[in-house]
């Protein structure tokens, strides 16, 4: 031995860009089905991906979509809080480590509509990466499919 250790090859990061784009369109579709006129931002607007509107009141809401491909996600990274809502789209495409006792983990996506004020409350300021771990998302189930929060925001 020469005293040098071999570098361990770094695991290649999985490309989830198609899933992320799909999540944005899923959220857009849900907003439209809820009767909330909404538009996808086709250039990369820092902080948000969709603009939901109420033309009658001339109001809008900026919506940032964060998607997690894996079933049983542990968290997400949010660095830009220049938005009104964060929609966490849990795509549930299976477990990262493979099926668990016959459960592939593949199921319908879950959507959590989180006011940015809530996200700012639960984040860990010490985390330089901006990772928000699921365990800090207290009461998360209460935000599942809460599209009405966006509607109420637009009606103020």
Least confident of 1-15, 53-67, 87-101: 1-15
- pLDDT(5) > 80: no
Q: Is residue 11 part of a domain?
A: no
Q: 128 with 136: CB under 8 angstroms?
A: no
State whether residue 65 is helix, strand or coil. strand
In a domain, 7, yes or no: no
The 10s digit of each residue's pLDDT in 23-65 is: 999 999 999 999 999 999 987 788 999 999 999 999 999 999 9
| CA-based nearest residue to 156, from 31, 37, 57, 35 | 57
Burial of 72 from C-beta contacts in 10 A (0-12 / 13-18 / 19+): middle
Looking at residue 78, which CATH number applies to its domain?
A: 3.40.1350.10
Sequence-ordered alpha helix ranges (H) in the chain: 17-33, 116-122, 148-154
Residue 53: inside a domain, yes or no? yes
Q: What is the Cα–Cα distance from 148 to 69, expressed in whole angstroms? A: 25
- In this structure, the strands spanning 85-90 and 110-115 are antiparallel
Its pTM stands at 0.86
| DSSP classification of residue 98 | -
Range of the domain at 149: 17-154
Higher pLDDT among residues 53 and 132, named by residue: 53
Residue 107 lies in a domain: yes
| Maximum Cα–Cα distance across the chain | 75
Who's near 17: CB < 8 A, 6+ residues apart? none
Domain assignment present for 84:
yes
Cα gap 65→107, rounded to integer Å: 19
- What tokens does 153 get? 């925001």
Number of domains composing the chain? 1
């Amino acid at each position: 031995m020469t005293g040098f250790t071999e570098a361990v090859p770094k695991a290649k990061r999985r490309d989830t860009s198609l899933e992320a784009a799909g999540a944005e369109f899923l959220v857009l579709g849900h907003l439209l089905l809820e009767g909330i006129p909404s538009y996808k931002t086709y250039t990369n607007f820092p902080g948000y991906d969709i603009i939901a509107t109420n033309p009658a009141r001339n109001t809008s809401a900026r919506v940032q979509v964060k998607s997690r491909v894996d079933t049983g996600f542990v968290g997400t990274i949010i660095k830009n809080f220049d938005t009104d809502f964060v929609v966490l789209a849990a795509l549930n495409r299976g477990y990262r480590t493979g099926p668990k006792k016959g459960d592939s983990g593949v199921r319908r996506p879950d959507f959590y509509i989180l006011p940015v004020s809530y996200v700012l409350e639960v984040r860990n300021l010490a985390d330089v990466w901006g990772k928000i771990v699921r365990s800090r998302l207290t009461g998360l189930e209460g935000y599942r499919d809460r599209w009405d929060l966006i509607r109420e925001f637009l009606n103020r």
